[in-house]
Amino acid sequence: MTQITLDKTDLKILQVLQENGRLTNVELSERVALSPSPCLRRLKQLEDAGIIRKYAALLSPVTVQLGLQAFIRVSISKAKDAREDFSNAVQTWPEVLSCFALTGETDYLLHAFFTDMNAFSHFVLDTLLSHHGVQDAKSSFVLKEIKHTTALPLQHLQKD
């Protein structure tokens, strides 16, 4: 990955794309006040530098029958191979959208979606707690989503 310095136009490109990643290059160039060729060149630089990791469609969980959202705090054995095995195993669990290694009382935090409580129960009992390194799991269910965004804050990168 190439390191690049971001100017106001780069930041505007990133901001606009975080709002709508499906814009054509012409639409993007109009919104950031550039002609299409320089806009495409800057976009390619942002991708090559790894600033833009990928593009994705964000689905509505409820409309695809995944109405039960859970955060699961997992404690595992302190053995190095247990951590490595867990990290590899979690990659294969489609219910888990995110997994974070944490400091503090819990080793990992999983963010997962399920069709219902039966699917959640099956996952916890037959998959998660059956993993050899897992010692404990505690779950919290989402009652209401107050804020959800995928847009990173970029204000700290702006130069006056």
Q: Are 66 and 114 in contact (CB under 8 A)?
A: yes
Which residue do the tokens 């595992």 mark? 76
Residue 57 C-alpha from the chain's centroid: 12
Q: Residue 2's closest CA among 56, 41, 40, 49?
A: 49
Strand partners, 160: none
Question: pLDDT digit string (tens) for 40-78?
Answer: 999 999 999 999 999 999 999 999 999 999 999 999 999
Residue 83's pLDDT is what?
Answer: 94
Residues 76 and 108 sit within 8 Å (Cβ to Cβ):
yes
DSSP state of 95: T
160 vs 42, 149, 151, CA distance in Å?
21, 26, 22
Residues of the chain with pLDDT under 50: none
User: pTM to 2 decimals?
Assistant: 0.89
| Of 73, 78, 89, residue with least CA distance to 137 | 73
Angle, vertex CA 145, rays to CA 112 and CA 101, nearest 5: 40
Distances (CA, A) of 88 to 52, 71, 80, 91: 25, 19, 13, 5
**Dihedral sign computed on CA atoms, order 112, 114, 117, 120:** negative
The predicted structure's pLDDT at residue 5? 87
Q: How far apart are CA 104 and CA 6, in angstroms?
A: 35
